[in-house]
Structure 1
Amino acid sequence: MAALDGLPPLRDVIATHGLSAKKALGQNFILDLNITARIARAAGDLTACDVLEVGPGPGGLTRGLLAEGARKVVAVEKDARCLPALAEVAAHYPGRLEVIEGDALAVDLSGRLTAPVRVVANLPYNVGTELLVRWLTPPEWPPFWISLTLMFQREVAQRITAQAGDDAYGRLAILAQWRATPRIVLDLPPQAFVPPPKVSSAVVHLDALPAPRFPARARTLALVTAAAFGQRRKMLRSSLKSLSPDIEAHLVAVGIPPTERAEQVPLEGFCALARSLDGND
């Protein structure tokens, strides 16, 4: 990549700017620009898209996104130490990189991105799941993004893509698969990062659906899954009894045995139960 974009290798960038990764910020840098290029390509065709990147650090993935032709990258970085390195990338790609210093959980992005938008990020581990949930639960759907391509701890990636019956199946799988199509597109060992984390990582790509996969009211589905997986080892007639005095009748009406446990019920079943509780067929 250094030969392709004319910028220094990331190890040199980190050394020049003193960018040792901070555990408190959930930082783990990928220094291999071949890997960051693979992540950028996994996001799909970027040439007609704006890209939102969270936690760019020294700019390895940022460079991959720009080299793959992203129309514009808006990068949100909390660590002020990284801003000079990112400024060098911005100067190399005039008018195509906007860096915002701030917390991705709080920064206002209104007016900064033009549709279509793809989100691509090696997310800081300490905020990754929270950001995903926010992107999956906007007030209106479809969301501002058409796809998410995100790095997580592999355990989290498995929770996002799990199917009914899997050990990892739970609320995160239902939330992701109700409104999007997620799949793991890349596995990375700890050695791919500096410093190496204690766990393996994976990149998950999620394509937004134009409408939820099955009809349901978002609030009711959230209540049902919270109760069901909050006591996942209990039978549903017990874990869901706080939602309705007639919960067994609702379960039977939608074809779910009251003695079933949460991890055995597919997404469609939870959506049907939510509709039943709301008085909808």
Structure 2
Amino acid sequence: MRALEDLPPLAKVIAAHGLSARKSLGQNFLLDLNLTSKIARQAGDLGGCDVLEIGPGPGGLTRGLLMEGARHVLAIEKDSRCLPALQEIAEAAPGRLTVLNADALDLDPLAHLTPPIRVVSNLPYNVGTELLIRWLTPPEWPPFWQSLTLMFQREVAERIVAQPGGKAYGRLALLAQWRALPRIVMHLPPGAFTPPPKVSSAVVHLTALPEPRYPADPKILERVVARAFNQRRKMLRAALKGAAPDIEDRLLSAGIKPTDRAETVSLEQFCALARRMPGGVEA
């Protein structure tokens, strides 16, 4: 039986199994095992943790997670062509890797994981944002995960960490920063991938907060933020017209000028407004 460090280079694995990346699956393979190990290290100490990985492909990051000491890795891979390569890794790390051939959007992974749990993934571009939003909006908080260490297109990563006042600031920033501490921990150029994507990538590490930064009803906050940014060029008194008959008074009581635009309003102010909207605790 081969040990993890004795497995062949990923380029040979891809050639042996005919694993050309498929655009329809959002695949861009990261072949440099030094980089995949570095990404795994961004997740912190994995000893004693189960790790959820979405879209492992030929298993470069999977190897990194196991070699960095993850107690157990659950890898969910939609592309059945990758299963033989992943099975080779499972044989080199007995009992520490479970591979499920499934669509991550359709599967509840919790039946296969034991807390504490961390999520570490080079997410397929076509499902990355949707998965992040799901992980940030569970029915109950704290969530099942301690942290998320995820690779995105650089533009998406910048939206997650954006601050008020810029074009990148919007619903994704507010959603991520309300309940988590996000930061960009790595940048990767297109040439790091096979095939090279047209855009640069970045790894974002999000640590779950024990409770949201500011009190607000999640559904009311989401509705307010969605309305505000769906018409982000409009003043808030116009963008939120219809949300409440006396919206200007509610904006003022939350410390927001009715002439402000959504991209200038802080997370704390949006939460204050959500508490003052119909159904909110201070309405």
TM-score (norm 1): 0.98
**Partner residue, 1:199:** 199
For structure 1, the 5+ residue unaligned runs are none
**Partner residue, 2:215:** 215
**Partner residue, 1:92:** 92
Measure how far apart 1:280 and its partner are.
2.8
Measure how far apart 1:107 and its partner are.
1.4
Matched residue type, 1:280: V
Aligned residues: 280
Deviations 1:16-62 (A, max 9, x none): 00000000000000000010001000001000100000000000000
What is the percent sequence identity of the aligned residues?
70
Residue 166 of structure 2 corresponds to residue 166 of structure 1: yes
Q: Find the aligned partners of 1:53 and 1:123 in 2 and give their Cα distance.
A: 8
Residue 105 of structure 2 corresponds to residue 123 of structure 1: no
SS in structure 1 opposite 2:259? coil
**Partner residue, 1:10:** 10
Could you tell me whether the CA contact under 8 Å between 2:220 and 2:280 is conserved in 1? no
Q: Find the aligned partners of 1:121 and 1:157 in 2 and give their Cα distance.
A: 14
Deviations 1:217-269 (A, max 9, x none): 00000000000000000000000012101000000111100000000001000
Q: Find the aligned partners of 1:253 and 1:70 in 2 and give their Cα distance.
A: 49
**Partner residue, 1:68:** 68
Q: Find the aligned partners of 1:193 and 1:276 in 2 and give their Cα distance.
A: 48
Q: Find the aligned partners of 1:211 and 1:44 in 2 and give their Cα distance.
A: 21
Measure how far apart 1:200 and its partner are.
0.4
Matched residue type, 1:50: D
Could you tell me whether the CA contact under 8 Å between 2:164 and 2:266 is conserved in 1? yes
- Aligned CA RMSD, in angstroms, stands at 1.2
Change in 2 beyond 3 A, CA 1:133/1:117: same
Change in 2 beyond 3 A, CA 1:69/1:247: same
TM-score (norm 2): 0.97
For structure 2, the 5+ residue unaligned runs are none
Q: Find the aligned partners of 1:49 and 1:3 in 2 and give their Cα distance.
A: 21
Deviations 1:175-214 (A, max 9, x none): 0000000000000000000000000000000000010110
Residue 12 of structure 2 corresponds to residue 31 of structure 1: no
**Partner residue, 2:226:** 226
SS in structure 2 opposite 1:105? helix
Matched residue type, 2:264: Q
Q: Find the aligned partners of 2:281 and 2:218 in 1 and give their Cα distance.
A: 14
**Partner residue, 2:281:** 280
Runs of 4+ in 1 over 4 A off after TM superposition: none
